[in-house]
Chain A
Amino acid sequence: MTNGLWTTSVGSFPKPPELLAARTEHAAGRLSDDDLSALERRATEDWIRFQESIGVDILVDGEMYRGDMATYFAEELEGFAIGGIVRAYGNRYYRKPIAIAPVRRTHPITVEMWRYAQSLTDKPVKGMLTGPYTIADWSFDEHYGSRREFVLDLAHAIHAEAMDLAAAGARFVQIDEPAASTRMEELPLVAEAMGIVTDGLPAYAITHICYGDFMRAYPTMLDIPVDQIDLELTNSDFELLDRFREIPFTKHVGLGVSDVHSHRVEAVDEVVRGIKLALEVLPPESIFVDPDCGLKTRTVEEAQAKMRVISDAVAKVRDELGIGSALPDVGPTPGRNAGVPVAVASNATETEPALP
């Protein structure tokens, strides 16, 4: 039996109201670190239990202990100051880091929480990191004056963290690079930095890219040395899949099938449609199904409903097509360093998947 269409999440889940309130109290100095940590762990356990209950294949800890994905790492790395708040969109704001000195990693950042989350389940829990290019791009630079130097210093820091996660037992390590598709001329820098992060990494490496100009970033993005690229596809109605017919996708794909910026919960058949569109150009054993992006901007109820729909849709397609859910013995794949296909197949078909 073919196995595939594994379900997972991009990373973040919404924090429950009591944790949001506790973070405010903690920021104001009215709640201790230990008390906040206890609430974060409780919320993490709740999300692990929820994911198990709906049959998710590869779990995440939900990032109950993080605020912004770049700022969280900047707070833990040497060389950053944390600036004032800036707006991302709508009513969403974050504290933007400022590089004021050489960036260095002085201690493990995510390993302890990963260990805790993994201790709660027999299913694999992803190690979740923010990529060097994104941390640099989402920071101000008052020290380097060279984007490349800034990014590569961060790459060494994130590499050390990724290696520690793998040493702790993480089989899947995700290094998010949502900023990767921002500047086409810097995609080689994204790839160079990721090459440092994943160099010798004995785990299956994923990167997540979202809300950029995918049509221009493809196929160059395939040069990013990871085993899987996770893409937000619902937001653009899966238009990138057509490009895969022209230039084969050489890695595994994380298939975003749920719009995380909409309160509306998709119908199961909408998600089934997205999965089947992907199956027209990719084999099931190369597809991991998840939401477009982290679900932290939704309410707990909305996020859970969207995850249930994804889980139900995958079960429906698996059942219909006779696809199993057994996870492969993952590690680095041949696709990690495959890059852009040398010979572009102009007539790639669904029966000739271009996967390694």
Chain B
Amino acid sequence: MFATLVGAYPRTPLAGQPFPLRAAYGRLERGEIDGAGFREVQDELVRELMGEQIDAGMGILTDGQVRWEDAQTALTRGLEGFEATGLLRYFDTNTYYRQPRATGEPRWTQPILVDDWRFADGAARQAAAERGLQPLAVKACLIGPYTLARLSDAGDLGRESLTLALAEALGQEVRALVEAGAPVVQVDENALSLIGADDEAERKLASEALSRLTSALDGLTEHHLCLAVTMGSAEHAGHALLFDQPFHSYLFDLIKGPDNWRLISYAPADRGIVCGVADARNTARDDEPVMIWAGRYAASLNGRGRDRVGLAPSTGLEYLPRDRARAKIQALGEAARKAGLGKEALGTEIDPRAVDARSAALGRVERPASRAGGAS
């Protein structure tokens, strides 16, 4: 059992701390520093976030996507065939992105995210070494073709053509990341949550896009592809669409999309499941026993086992202030550690009524007889 971010993390500072990134952005706009100078400030923030994740007990790290304007622009800036247009709200959040517009068939010409992943991987290694720890995996994340097309203006190309062209283009980026050594590449397809029960054409299009994307890895054996769906339930996308694809693991938002549990029940045992159980859209503390229960339930489904299950926020944590986000990942790291314990050991760390059916039914704590001592 491990904990991981979905991807994004606040780029804001902890309370009372200076905000060098914001200042640097202003200086960049005024021409007081150049792109390299701005990147140095971003680099420092990535280093800081690697340490913060390790200290919180996260098992798989990300760079927090703090270099990105938004998930769409991060890719379309590097592809041929796009221009940026007006501001649009991202799903139901109070964050905004410039909608990409296809000006022609998108084309991948060179790696877009590889340098950023390499830097993050190096920063993570350095942070782990400073703490006397073994290096932790750093996953690379990118928006998937179905979602990117759905959030873009397809222009004259039409959305179907754009989706499939993006599948080919982003497949090249995924391959480049794998070849660079990214141990996990996560494809974010939040727009699968927009597919309705009767949207057979959408299911077919999304399925075809994911097939084309994953086929870019044909011939490569050492890789791990994760498919992430947050911002809602992918229930109507259907389990066939998701699990017929060669992804090794899946991350689901179980706060905004509790119906995703039904999908998880169909996931073959050899696929990993990351449970998005910490509410990334609210500051309130998440219930630890619930997070632990979620991880252990996912582990028990189809005999998956705890090694192939992780805990995560319900979506990117960028919607929270930094202090609250840090508290969330600390709670996730601790919940993952406890969820990985055996039943008796777990009973010493949380109220046994949360994990023991007999105690729960009796409404009082009945500690295992074999254990002396224990938690309060």
Contacts and interface: CB of A to CB of B under 8 A. Distances in A.
B129 to A, nearest CB: 31
Contacts of B96: 88-89, 211
Interface band, chain B: 20 to 34
Given A140-B282, A141-B282, A84 B323 contact: yes
A83 interface: yes
A83 B95 CA distance: 17
Contact of A93 (B12, B69, B89, B323): B12
B340 interface: no
B330 to A, nearest CB: 16
Nearest to A141: B282
A141 to B, nearest CB: 6
B323 to A, nearest CB: 6
A90 B84 CA distance: 13
Contact of A183 (B10, B92, B282): B92
A261 interface: yes
A146 interface: no
B282 A87 contact: no
B324 interface: yes
Contacts of B282: 140-142
A179 B96 CA distance: 12
A86 B283 contact: no
A347 interface: no
B283 A85 contact: no
B79 to A, nearest CB: 21
Contacts, number: 68
Given A91-B26, A93-B22, A179-B94, A86 B87 contact: no
Interface in B67-115: 69-70, 86-89, 92, 94-97
A98 B284 CA distance: 9
Contact of A84 (B22, B26, B322): B322
Contact of A86 (B86, B88, B320): B320
A84 B87 contact: no
Contact of B284 (A88, A96, A142, A213): A142
A351 interface: no
Task: Determine the main DSSP class of A at the interface with B.
Answer: mixed
A59 B89 CA distance: 28
A218 interface: no
Given A83-B321, A83-B324, A89 B86 contact: no
Contacts of B319: 86
Contact of B283 (A93, A142, A213, A261): A142
A86 B10 contact: yes
A88 B11 CA distance: 12
B285 to A, nearest CB: 9
Interface residues of A, number: 28
B92 A91 contact: no
B178 to A, nearest CB: 30
Most buried by B among A89, A141, A211, A212: A89
B12 A85 contact: yes
A83 B283 contact: yes
A137 interface: yes
Nearest to A96: B321
Interface string B244-274: 0000000000000000000000000000000
B318 interface: yes
B357 interface: no
A50 interface: no
Contact of B86 (A138, A140, A142, A236): A236
Interface of A: 83-91, 93, 96, 98, 137-138, 140-142, 179, 181-183, 211-213, 235-236, 259, 261
Interface of B: 10-12, 15, 22, 25-26, 29, 69-70, 86-89, 92, 94-97, 282-284, 318-324
Given A86-B321, A89-B69, A137-B94, 12 more contacts: A86-B10, A87-B318, A89-B95, A90-B69, A91-B26, A98-B283, A140-B284, A142-B283, A182-B92, A211-B87, A211-B89, A261-B86
10 contacts: A84-B12, A84-B324, A86-B319, A86-B321, A87-B95, A89-B95, A91-B25, A179-B94, A211-B89, A261-B86
